[in-house]
């Protein structure tokens, strides 16, 4: 144990280096290993205990599909998996081995960022859909690293589509439903080329006559210079062949015409250089600002934040009037050389030109990804996090302070709040002076009190947005279906109350109180498509269960008459079907799966047959006259003395091949075909008893059979091994009562009216934010009087508020161990939000705000969709922005449980122009 700890400790602490290979290990197995070897000094109890032995490295919990071994979506580092370097992985496999059939999950370390280099393991590879331009329906999915080059993609496509090396090709990517862009820079990385998850890439092969297949159907071009090219279907020469690396083909709605969009003509005969936003000009001019943003692949979070900022009048006016040009700070070491400001300005001008119904913000996203690596990929992100980055980036790019002075922080030392606040604000403005500070920054008052010496520390800090907590729910309602051990009882649906951050064991305890079934006999499962999608452990968190999941809880009998060891098996129902095109047979899952407990010493086919028959006796009615018929006929008849039904022979025919398979069956006492349960002797089955179904040992998804040769008549199966009960179509139709099989009852808990979800007012969130709290033991404050860290009390107050107040509702809660989204409805006023009562500056004026925009999030944490509501500054009407779609909206639609970030504008009658005196408006915060 000590050797393993000593060898792996330094390896696990290694830093990431570009190009290295790291391996994913399921955190559940890794935690078990750490316990077994006593890896953590605080958890040495039980080290070396054989009951803690982790067994072979098992990553099955990370697979969304056990067959393809593709990763589940939205896995989180440390919570779901740990990353180990290659040397550590090799040692673990040498010591413990790896689960049979599992391939190692190996990923490369890639480099992100332009100035600050950032390394991370690329856990999720990018899936691209590849096809030939001549056959767009034949699509092949392939995975690539973001560090791979376009040349790598071309090489792979040549191989996939058998394109000879001497043939000239070019690649096109489709990033909107009707827009194609040529990928000319073969040395560009996948990331730099802006390729995203699920994007279509086409390869085009040059014709023998030197033309490109796309040329004949090029009909027109739309450019800022209004220059048009036309070619007939017979033409072989066209300016199409001289398109630059950023050429774009846009399908204008006709099957035989393509248009080229461009903002200006290229120089030196290079053809058109497409505008970076690939705009589609509307036939008629649209209302300025009512411009959608195309989704480039999980970029709805960015689109939502951008629409809110676009509809913030003072900021948009600043960019439309070109005031930013004189204030760009290219030398600010904290900025981005002015590139973020320029990219944002270009996008805003496009959105407010009144010429486009929507634009594709590809260049803006590329610029953001260069400076903020966390936004460089195409996975779902947080609109508020992007907003925070963007406001900070714009501030530093437009900071009027060219050289920031060094300032020493002074303690309040008993001075009046107004004097300390004025000093804090003036110091802030000496280092931070931009349009963002003018519009978005306000001032907090923070008060800390030492519990030992009563030392009071008061500081004033700038802020850019308010992050307000939501009152936490303590519990949640879950609907589950209990499948009783008594086979004659119908399943019953219950609605149970469980702790919000509880475990599966809490669900079982709650269900036990309602049903009377012992909690220790319950197994909680997620059933999907007639199979067990997941079987939960008692210590797993309930946060893994989503509201849409179909949760079935099985009461598994565990008799205690003797000390026999019981094993729980998964049982799936399959129908054997014969394909029309050939004589081979296949299987289709149906019905509700079962969980059965069987003593290990009775694991025979005959005993399992009886147990399953009893479990399904409520909805499978056997004809009494035929149950023990000696003269059976048809597909289900017995085959001589070995007692194997003909259904097995059919299965054998397509697995072992024709007559040879029959011969093997006739010669053997046991069935040795792939997937068949095998027994030592024919005596296990009653020769004259009709068998209505057969067994197969299958994988956990029930999709394929496992070749398992069992010696002796006792089957060697593991816990939750999956058995398939195979029926032929005729027998299923005759005996299986589908209606009764699906029938269930509703417990009275389902019939009781649900409590109306609590509605929280915005002021409740503000009051919670300004409530005094005691710091946690892991977050103490250093008291200068006591000269030690203390769990002080802390209180936030608002001293001054900005012209544009951004309110972030903290709906997402997460740590290393759990995650959740609060879907509480927060009622917020669309007009007349009076914040005056929350401002503690006694000399402050009134702060009354009107709503101008809302960023919405629909769905659960880590997934879902972002949209925005915003008020157009030209006509004062509300609109709903959903990626490229823009539609009218009414005020009564805006307040929903999806509201995530709110934008309020202070009423002009209360605005002040000089924020420096403490009794006036303080605009301020540095988000560094």
Number of Cβ within 10 Å of residue 2's Cβ equals 10
Angle between helices 339-351 and 383-397 (to 10 degrees): 110
Cβ count near 395 (within 10 Å): 28
Instruction: Determine the Cα–Cα distance for residues 143 and 157; give it in Å rounded to an integer.
Output: 12
Residue corresponding to tokens 């005959």: 606
- Give the C-alpha separation, 877 to 884, whole Å: 19
Q: How far is it, in rounded angstroms, from Cα 595 to Cα 555?
A: 8
Q: How many residues does the chain have?
A: 928
Looking at the DSSP assignment, which residues form a beta bridge with residue 448? 457, 794
Torsion over CA: 432, 436, 439, 440 (sign) = negative
Per-residue H/E/C for 804-844: EEEEEEECEEECCCCEEECCCEEECCCCCEECHHHECCCCC
Instruction: Please tell me what DSSP assigns to residue 468.
Output: E
In the block, tokens 């922080």 appear at: 409
Among the listed residues 349, 482, 588, 435, the one whose alpha carbon sits nearest the alpha carbon of residue 924: 435
Residue 277 in contact with residue 818, Cβ under 8 Å? no
What crossing angle do the helices spanning 362-371 and 383-397 adopt, rounded to 10°? 80
Q: 426: Cβ–Cβ under 8 A, 6 or more apart, which residues?
A: 916
Q: Residue 783 burial by CB count (10 A; 0-12/13-18/19+): exposed, middle or buried?
A: buried
Cα separation, 814 vs 821, in Å, equals 9
Would strands 466-469 and 804-810 be described as parallel, antiparallel, or unpaired?
parallel
**Residue from 265, 258, 280 nearest 213 by CA:** 258
Is residue 865 part of the annotated active site? The answer reads yes
What residues contact 728, with CB distance under 8 A and at least 6 apart? 575, 576, 635, 636, 647
User: For residue 410, which of 418, 420, 399 has the smallest C-alpha distance?
Assistant: 420
Closest CA relative to residue 837, chosen from 896, 913, 762, 905: 762
Helix %, strand %, coil % of the chain (to 5): 25, 30, 45
Interatomic CA distance for residues 575 and 594, integer angstroms: 16
The two beta strands, 118-121 and 126-132, are unpaired
- Residue 52 tokens read as 């803690």
Q: In a 10 Å sphere around its CB, with 0-12 CB exposed, 13-18 middle and 19+ buried, how is residue 331 labelled?
A: exposed
Task: Give which of 438, 537, 461 is closest to 802, Cα–Cα.
Answer: 438
Asked about 300 being catalytic, the answer comes back as: yes
Q: Residue 45, Cα to own-chain centre: how many angstroms?
A: 37
Which of 544, 607, 865, 912 is flagged as catalytic?
Answer: 865
Question: Which of 797, 878, 888, 868 lies closest to 831 in space, CA to CA?
Answer: 878
**CA angle 121-126-127, nearest 5°?**
150
Q: Which residue is it, tokens 């909107």? A: 176
Catalytic residue, from 274, 300, 464, 508: name it.
300
3-state secondary structure of 692: coil
Asked if residues 462 and 423 have their Cβ atoms less than 8 Å apart, the reply is no
Q: What is the DSSP letter of 758?
A: P
Query: What burial letters (b/e) apply to 145-175, b meaning 16+ CB within 10 Å?
Result: bbbbbbeebbebbbeebebeeeeebbbbbbb
Q: Which residues have a catalytic role annotated?
A: 300, 865
């Amino acid at each position: 144990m000590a050797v393993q700890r000593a060898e792996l400790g330094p390896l696990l602490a290694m830093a990431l280096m570009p190009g290295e290979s790291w391996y994913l290990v399921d955190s559940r197995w890794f935690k078990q290993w750490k316990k077994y070897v006593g890896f953590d000094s605080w958890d040495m109890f039980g080290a070396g205990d054989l009951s803690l032995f982790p067994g072979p490295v098992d990553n099955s919990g990370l697979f969304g599909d056990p067959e393809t071994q593709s990763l589940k979506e939205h896995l989180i580092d440390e919570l779901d998996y740990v990353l180990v370097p290659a040397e550590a992985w090799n040692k673990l496999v040498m010591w413990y081995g790896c689960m049979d059939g599992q391939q190692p999950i190996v990923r490369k370390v890639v480099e992100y960022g332009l100035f600050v280099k950032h390394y991370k393991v690329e856990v999720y590879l990018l899936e691209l859909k590849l096809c030939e331009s001549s056959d767009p329906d034949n699509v092949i999915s392939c995975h690539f690293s973001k560090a791979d080059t376009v040349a790598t993609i071309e090489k792979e496509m040549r191989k996939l589509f058998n394109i000879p090396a001497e043939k000239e090709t070019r690649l096109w990517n489709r990033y909107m439903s009707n827009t194609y862009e040529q990928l000319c820079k073969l040395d560009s990385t996948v990331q730099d080329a802006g390729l995203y998850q699920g994007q279509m890439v086409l390869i085009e092969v040059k014709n023998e006559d030197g033309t490109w297949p796309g040329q004949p159907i090029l009909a027109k071009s739309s450019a800022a210079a209004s220059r048009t090219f036309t070619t007939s279907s017979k033409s072989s020469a066209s300016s199409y062949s001289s398109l630059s690396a950023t050429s774009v083909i846009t399908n204008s709605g006709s099957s035989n015409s393509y248009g080229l969009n461009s903002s200006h003509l290229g120089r030196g005969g290079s053809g058109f250089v497409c505008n970076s936003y690939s705009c589609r000009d509307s036939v008629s001019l649209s209302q300025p600002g009512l411009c959608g943003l195309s989704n480039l692949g999980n970029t709805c979070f960015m689109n939502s934040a951008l629409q809110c900022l676009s509809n913030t009048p003072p900021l948009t006016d600043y960019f439309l009037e070109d005031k930013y040009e004189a204030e760009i700070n290219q030398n600010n070491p904290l900025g981005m050389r002015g590139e973020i400001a320029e990219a944002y300005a270009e996008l805003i001008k496009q959105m407010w030109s009144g010429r486009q119904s929507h634009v594709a913000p590809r260049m803006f996203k590329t610029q953001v990804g260069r400076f903020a690596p966390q936004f460089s990929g195409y996975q779902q992100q947080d609109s508020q996090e992007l907003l925070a980055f963007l406001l900070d980036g714009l501030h530093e790019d437009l900071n009027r302070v060219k050289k920031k002075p060094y300032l020493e922080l002074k303690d309040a030392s008993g001075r009046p709040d107004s004097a300390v606040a004025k000093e804090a604000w003036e110091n802030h403005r000496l280092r931070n002076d931009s349009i963002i500070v003018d519009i978005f920054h306000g001032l907090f008052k923070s008060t800390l009190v030492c519990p030992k010496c009563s030392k009071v520390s008061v500081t004033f800090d700038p802020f850019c947005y308010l992050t307000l907590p939501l009152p936490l729910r303590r519990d949640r309602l879950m609907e589950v279906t209990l499948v009783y051990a008594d086979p004659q009882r119908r399943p019953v649906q219950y609605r149970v109350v469980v702790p919000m951050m509880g475990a599966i064991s809490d669900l079982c305890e709650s269900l036990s109180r309602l049903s009377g079934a012992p909690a220790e006999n319950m197994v909680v499962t997620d059933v999907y498509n007639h199979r067990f999608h997941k079987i939960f452990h008692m210590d797993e968190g309930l946060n893994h269960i989503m509201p849409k999941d179909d949760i079935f809880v099985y009461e598994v009998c565990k008799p205690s008459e003797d000390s026999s060891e019981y094993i729980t098996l998964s049982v799936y129902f399959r129908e054997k079907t014969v394909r029309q095109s050939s004589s081979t047979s296949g299987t289709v899952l149906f019905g509700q799966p079962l969980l059965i407990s069987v003593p290990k010493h009775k694991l025979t086919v005959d005993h399992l047959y009886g147990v399953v028959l009893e479990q399904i006796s409520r909805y499978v009615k056997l004809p009494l006259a035929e149950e023990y018929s000696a003269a059976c006929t048809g597909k289900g008849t017995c085959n001589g003395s070995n007692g194997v039904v003909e259904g097995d022979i059919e299965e054998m025919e397509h697995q072992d091949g024709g007559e040879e398979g029959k011969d093997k069956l006739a010669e053997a006492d046991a069935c040795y075909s792939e997937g068949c349960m095998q027994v030592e002797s024919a005596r296990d089955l009653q020769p004259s008893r009709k068998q209505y179904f057969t067994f197969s040992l299958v994988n956990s998804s029930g999709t394929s059979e496992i070749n398992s040769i069992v010696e002796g008549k006792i089957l060697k199966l593991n816990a939750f091994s999956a058995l398939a009960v195979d029926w032929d179509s005729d027998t299923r139709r005759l005996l299986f009562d589908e209606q009764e099989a699906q029938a269930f009852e509703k417990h009275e808990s389902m019939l009781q009216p649900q409590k109306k979800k609590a509605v929280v007012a915005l002021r409740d969130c503000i009051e919670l934010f300004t409530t005094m709290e005691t710091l946690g033991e892991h977050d103490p404050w250093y008291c200068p009087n006591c000269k030690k860290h203390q769990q002080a009390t802390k209180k936030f107050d608002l001293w001054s508020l900005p012209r544009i107040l951004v309110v972030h509702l903290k709906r997402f809660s997460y740590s290393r161990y759990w995650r959740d989204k609060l879907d509480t409805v927060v009622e917020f006023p669309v007009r007349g939000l009076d914040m005056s009562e929350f401002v503690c500056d006694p000399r402050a004026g009134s702060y009354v705000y009107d709503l101008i925009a809302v960023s919405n999030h629909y769905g659960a944490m880590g997934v879902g969709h972002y949209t925005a509501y915003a008020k157009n500054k030209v006509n004062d009407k509300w609109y709903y922005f959903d990626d490229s779609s823009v539609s009218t909206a009414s005020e009564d639609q805006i307040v929903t449980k999806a509201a995530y970030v709110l934008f309020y504008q202070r009423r002009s009658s209360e605005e002040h122009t000089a924020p420096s005196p403490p009794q006036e408006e303080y605009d301020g915060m540095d988000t560094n």
